[in-house]
């Protein structure tokens, strides 16, 4: 299964980006063979509006079934839910840290958006 | 990190002048001017721009004159009345797109039988990072008649927060736009505290009501301050009462003070000139739970000078 | 004649000018309050309500029985208002601009339309003035569709004054488009001049003739006058910084009712503007 982490750099040690909709990159981790690849989220950063929704589209295209991030707004959450992607929220500082917590079963799945929406 | 957003509902209540004074009192904040339609904060804080960035938002449709055969399909599908008669290949009548009306939806682009319509991204303005005597400032300029998307406001806020995190500054102060629409929503969502600056008039009272509905809708802690309160003391009291009933807290009131305008003309904030309203402004700042930092703009010697002038 | 009263900076006195001008003229006139985010004209013209209508914008409605999840709609939409992530499209109504594109590109013709409410248009009657105002629902982001709905109520046969929102971007453009003249209200201060420049740039994009009204004369300096003179922009009226005006305004009264001597000032403004429209320089 693939799991996506919001990241601001290209390695496992990358800081986990706190906000889903405007995260610059996604680290797509394959739990079966322990490899990962990066997906750019530049299109969302450039989007005039709907950055969260577009980010959800990018994540859906990776084939991932779960997302780990800091915060996720209501529109993004709705889009992720429609795509069948589970969302986990954490304050882990790096992707590696978040991955460890996920494997240990320490992350809580969020049932609805945990922050108010942003206009853009 | 805290983020204080100062808005007003109604324009002209003195929000920008007050925000400038707050920037000086804070001493160690990052300032964001999100009133992108009519940004004025820089007139008092005199920023030196260190970085400029072009700002693109959305797209616009542009008909290639030489490729237009005047069929008019674009006109029939456009919902925004943006297609005008004009141009056309080799003197035959054609159509052009009015950029003021075009909303960049792409329908005409898709359905033009000649493929004659370009669809480039739209340059809407620019945003800048600057240094001021109060610290770093992020501000922007929206192009004339440009689309008022919240994206520019969001960009300015995001950069201000990033700078605050990287430079370990605990506070971002945002000068927000008037109204309750798109740019205001973009300036307040996710902030830690909103201060609404109003005035003791029926307009101020009416507009405050709508702004408070907005901050309630987005569940953001809100405080209210009546500026120029002594123009109508009774109205000021009424406004404060109705603010409390609406769930906001009253952070204080600031007196009408011509010295504020005089300070503005000298590119100074009220608190730097020792204007009579300074004591009220400092009280509001304190009531918001904020500390006064050490600011290059307000040295201890200058501070003593100002305090002495109160006596 | 359609006169738009606008400004870059908020709080310069647009509404004060609009409502007092309407009352001072003393004849049949329409006042359209296009500041749909914070309409204030009604606070001064205590009108008898004549009617209120909700205003809606079109949004897509997907017939899921016809939809095959191809995703064409989501790929077309510029606003992320309709997206295809699972089997069926997901709609974010508040992002929709109502362009109708998704319905047009759907290969199965599975998308129709329904309506989303954004606010109301209210009509009131206050002596000689028919006041039409728009009130945007709190939380709705875009004003222009409601502004257009307000302006659609302009009737031929009587002059119309449009009270614009503050600023220089699309709500202001939506208000002033199609008018015969724009009066830009400012104050003689640094903020006033700066925002006037921005407003002038915006009005120039529309190619509508315009002039400037300087309010609160005496509170600042001559910089606005110098700027206007330098560019050949006519100054139509100067209103003194009269504390009585501020107090009258604060209580929601009309200046021309409380201080009748100001009536001729506003009537003079109207004559000045009408002349400029009838005989462009």
Write down the pLDDT at residue B87.
76
Contact B145 C206 (CB under 8 A): yes
User: Which structural domain range is residue B104 located in?
Assistant: 61-119
Q: What is the mean pLDDT of chain C?
A: 93
Among chain A residues, the shortest Cα distance to B59 is held by: A48
**pLDDT tens digits, one per residue of C260-273:** 999 999 999 999 99
Write down the pLDDT at residue B149.
65
Q: Are residues B18 and B155 in the same domain?
A: yes
Q: Are residues B108 and B166 in the same domain?
A: no
Taking residues A20-25, report their average pLDDT: 86
Give yes or no for residue C228 having a pLDDT over 60.
yes
* pLDDT confidence tier of residue A120, bands split at 50, 70 and 90: very low
Neighbouring chains of C at 3+ CB pairs under 8 Å are: A, B
Q: Are residues B160 and B236 in the same domain?
A: yes
Q: Are residues B184 and B145 in the same domain?
A: yes
Q: Are residues B38 and B109 in the same domain?
A: no
Do the bridges between strand B48-59 and strand C2-6 make them parallel or antiparallel, or are there none, so unpaired? unpaired
Quick one: which of C1, C5, C8 has its CA closest to C169?
C8
Sketch the domain layout of chain C as residue ranges: 2-55+119-278, 64-109
Which CATH number fits the domain that encloses residue B88?
3.30.70.20
B92 or A29: whose pLDDT is higher? Answer: A29
Q: Are residues B218 and B89 in the same domain?
A: no
Per the listing, tokens 């002495």 go with B308
**pLDDT tens digits, one per residue of C42-59:** 999 988 999 999 999 999
Give yes or no for residue B179 having a pLDDT over 80.
yes
Neighbouring chains of B at 3+ CB pairs under 8 Å are: A, C
Please state which of the ranges A30-39, A44-53, B214-223, C182-191 shows the lowest mean pLDDT. Answer: A44-53
Alpha carbon B196 to its chain centroid, in Å, reads 13
**pLDDT tens digits, one per residue of C65-123:** 999 999 999 999 999 999 998 788 999 998 899 999 999 999 999 999 999 999 999 99
The architecture (CATH level 2) of A2-109 comes to: 2-Layer Sandwich (3.30)
* pLDDT confidence tier of residue B294, bands split at 50, 70 and 90: low
Give yes or no for residue B79 having a pLDDT over 80.
yes
The CATH number fitting domain C2-55+119-278, selected from 3.20.20.70, 3.40.50.10420, 2.40.10.120, 3.40.50.300: 3.40.50.300
Contact B77 C104 (CB under 8 A): yes
Spatial distance between the Cα atoms of B176 and B156, rounded to a whole number of angstroms? 11
Q: Are residues B74 and B202 in the same domain?
A: no
Give yes or no for residue A114 having a pLDDT over 70.
no
Bridge partners, residue C84, by sequence: C89
- The count of residues in chain B is 311
> What are the DSSP E strand ranges found in B86-192?
95-97, 117-118, 121-132, 135-142, 171-175
Task: Chain A: give the shortest CA distance to residue C194, in Å.
Answer: 27
**pLDDT tens digits, one per residue of C154-203:** 999 999 999 999 888 889 999 999 999 999 999 999 889 999 999 999 99
CATH code linked to domain C64-109: 3.30.70.20
Q: Could you give the number of structural domains in chain B?
A: 2
Q: Are residues B53 and B191 in the same domain?
A: yes
pTM to 2 decimal places? 0.85
Q: Are residues B53 and B107 in the same domain?
A: no
Q: Are residues B18 and B82 in the same domain?
A: no
Give yes or no for residue B123 having a pLDDT over 60.
yes
Contact A60 C85 (CB under 8 A): yes
Task: Chain B: give the shortest CA distance to residue A11, in Å.
Answer: 21
Bridge partners, residue B194, by sequence: B5, B222
Give yes or no for residue B89 having a pLDDT over 80.
no
**Domain end among B74, B104, B119:** B119
Write down the pLDDT at residue B311.
47
Rounded to 10 degrees, the C-alpha dihedral B88/B90/B91/B97 comes to 10
Indicate which of B179, B198, B219, B270 best probes the interface with C, i.e. most C CBs within 10 Å of its own CB.
B179
- The count of residues in chain A is 120
* pLDDT confidence tier of residue A55, bands split at 50, 70 and 90: very high
| Range 96-155 of C in CB contact (< 8 A) with A | 141
In chain A, % of residues over pLDDT 90: 59
Write down the pLDDT at residue C90.
94
Bridge partners, residue C71, by sequence: none
Helix axes B258-265, C190-206, angle to 10 degrees: 70
**pLDDT tens digits, one per residue of C120-132:** 999 999 999 999 9
In chain C, % of residues over pLDDT 70: 100
Q: Are residues B244 and B110 in the same domain?
A: no
Contact A47 C80 (CB under 8 A): yes
Q: Are residues B130 and B50 in the same domain?
A: yes
């Amino acid at each position: 299964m693939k799991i996506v982490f919001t990241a601001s750099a290209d390695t496992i040690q990358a800081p986990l980006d706190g906000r889903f909709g405007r995260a610059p990159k996604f680290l797509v981790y394959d739990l079966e063979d322990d490899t990962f690849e990066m997906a750019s989220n530049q299109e969302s950063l450039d989007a005039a509006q709907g950055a969260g929704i577009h980010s959800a589209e990018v994540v859906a295209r990776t084939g991932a079934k779960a997302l780990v991030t800091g915060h996720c707004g209501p529109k993004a959450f709705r889009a992720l839910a429609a795509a069948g992607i589970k969302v986990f929220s954490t304050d882990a500082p790096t992707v590696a840290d978040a991955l460890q917590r996920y494997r240990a079963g320490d992350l809580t799945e969020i049932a609805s958006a945990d922050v108010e929406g942003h206009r853009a | 990190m805290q983020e204080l957003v100062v808005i007003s509902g109604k324009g002209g209540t003195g929000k920008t002048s007050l925000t400038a004074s707050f920037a000086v009192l804070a001493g160690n904040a990052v300032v964001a001017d999100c009133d992108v339609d009519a940004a004025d904060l820089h007139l008092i804080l005199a920023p030196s721009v260190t970085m400029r960035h072009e700002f693109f938002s959305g797209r616009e449709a542009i008909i290639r004159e030489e490729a237009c055969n005047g069929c008019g399909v674009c006109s029939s599908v456009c919902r925004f009345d943006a297609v005008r008669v004009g141009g056309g290949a080799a003197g035959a009548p054609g159509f052009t797109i009015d950029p003021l009306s075009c909303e960049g939806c792409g329908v005409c682009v898709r359905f033009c039988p000649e493929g004659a319509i370009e669809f480039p991204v739209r340059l809407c303005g620019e945003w800048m990072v600057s240094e001021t005597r109060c610290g770093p400032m992020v501000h922007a300029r929206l192009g004339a008649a440009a689309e008022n998307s919240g994206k520019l406001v969001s960009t300015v806020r995001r950069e201000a927060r990033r700078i605050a995190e990287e430079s370990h500054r605990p506070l971002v102060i945002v000068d927000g736009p008037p109204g309750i629409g798109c740019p205001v929503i973009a300036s307040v969502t996710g902030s830690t505290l909103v201060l609404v600056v109003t005035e003791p008039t029926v307009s101020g009272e009416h507009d405050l009501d709508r702004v408070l509905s907005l901050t309630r809708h987005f569940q953001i802690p809100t405080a209210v301050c009546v500026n120029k309160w002594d123009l109508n003391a009774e109205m000021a009291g009424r406004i404060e009462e109705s603010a409390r009933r609406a769930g906001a807290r009253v952070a204080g009131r600031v007196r009408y003070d011509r010295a504020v305008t005089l300070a503005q003309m000298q590119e100074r904030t009220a608190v730097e000139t020792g204007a009579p309203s300074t004591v009220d402004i400092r009280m509001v700042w304190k009531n918001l739970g904020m500390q006064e930092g050490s600011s290059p703009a307000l040295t201890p010697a200058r501070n003593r000078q100002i305090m002495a002038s109160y006596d | 004649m359609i006169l738009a009263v606008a400004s870059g900076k908020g709080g310069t006195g647009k509404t004060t000018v609009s409502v007092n001008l309407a009352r001072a003229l003393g004849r049949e006139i329409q006042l359209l309050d296009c500041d749909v985010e914070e309409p204030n004209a009604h606070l001064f013209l205590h009108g008898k309500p004549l009617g209120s209508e909700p205003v809606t914008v079109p949004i897509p409605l997907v017939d899921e029985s016809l939809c095959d999840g191809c995703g064409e709609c989501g790929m077309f939409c510029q606003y992320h208002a309709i997206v295809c992530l699972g089997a069926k499209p997901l709609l974010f109504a508040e992002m929709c601009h109502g362009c109708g594109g998704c319905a047009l590109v759907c290969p199965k013709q599975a998308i129709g339309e329904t309506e989303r409410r954004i606010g109301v248009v209210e009509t009131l009657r206050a002596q000689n003035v028919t006041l039409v105002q728009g009130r945007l629902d709190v939380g709705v982001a875009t004003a222009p569709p409601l502004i257009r709905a307000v302006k659609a109520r302009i009737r031929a046969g009587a002059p119309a004054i449009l009270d614009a929102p503050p600023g220089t971007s699309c709500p202001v453009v939506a208000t002033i488009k199609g008018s015969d003249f724009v009066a830009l209200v400012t104050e003689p201060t640094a903020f006033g001049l700066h925002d006037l420049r921005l407003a002038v740039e915006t009005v120039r994009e529309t190619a509508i003739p315009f002039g400037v009204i300087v309010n609160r004369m005496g509170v600042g300096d001559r910089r606005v006058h110098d700027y206007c003179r330098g560019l050949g922009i006519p100054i139509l009226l100067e209103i003194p910084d009269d504390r009585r005006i501020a107090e009258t305004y604060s209580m929601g009264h009309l200046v021309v009712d409380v201080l009748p001597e100001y009536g001729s000032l506003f009537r003079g403004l109207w004559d000045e503007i009408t002349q400029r429209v009838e005989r462009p320089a």
